[in-house]
Amino acid sequence: MRYITYFTFDDLVDKHNEVIEKSGGNVGILNEGLLRGCLEFICNDDYYPDFEDKLTHLIFSIAKNHGFCDGNKRTSIVAGAYFLELNAYDQYVIDAFMQNMENVILLTVQNLLTKEQLKQIISDLINNGELSDNTKMIYVELLSELK
């Protein structure tokens, strides 16, 4: 297993504040324990053994658990991109991740995507820079159910 670089709680708060400053919303933390717990859990290889598991939990937890007063979905995406950057992922991969995650996060917080489906999407994006045919089919099925 390769070495993984993690960021701190203070880094996460800084990223959140940047998101709010750029896109608007209320600054503040609702539940510091949820945010710290998420960061601690992803460091534990027993819970999250590979990078995709760690990244998925980071994004899922921030978006769904609402540790911040506002901007949780936006912050989850930015935190995920930052985690990719810290771990030397190519800018092409980070850009593909950022471009695709907004709709993915919306589907996730609406409980339309499972955590396992979220991981599949994230894995496709960070390993291939695009969605696989199987993952595209998940999207098609979800979108047809929404109509």
Domains of the chain with bracketed CATH: 9-146 (1.20.120.1870)
Q: Reduced to 3 states, what is the DSSP secondary structure of residue 8?
A: coil
Q: What is the pTM of this model?
A: 0.93
Residue spans of the chain under pLDDT 50: none
| pLDDT the model gives residue 2 | 78
| pLDDT the model gives residue 111 | 93
| pLDDT the model gives residue 141 | 82
| pLDDT the model gives residue 147 | 63
Measured CA to CA, the distance from residue 143 to residue 147 in angstroms comes to: 7
The answer to whether 41 touches 57, Cβ cutoff 8 Å, is yes
Name the CA dihedral angle for 88, 93, 95, 99, rounded to a multiple of 10 degrees: -140
77-91: pLDDT as tens digits = 999 999 999 999 999
| pLDDT the model gives residue 1 | 56
Which phi and psi angles does 68 have, rounded to 5°? -100, 160
Measured CA to CA, the distance from residue 75 to residue 10 in angstroms comes to: 13
Residues with Cβ within 8 Å of residue 61, at least 6 apart in sequence:
34, 37, 38, 41, 76
The answer to whether 80 touches 97, Cβ cutoff 8 Å, is yes
Measured CA to CA, the distance from residue 70 to residue 142 in angstroms comes to: 26
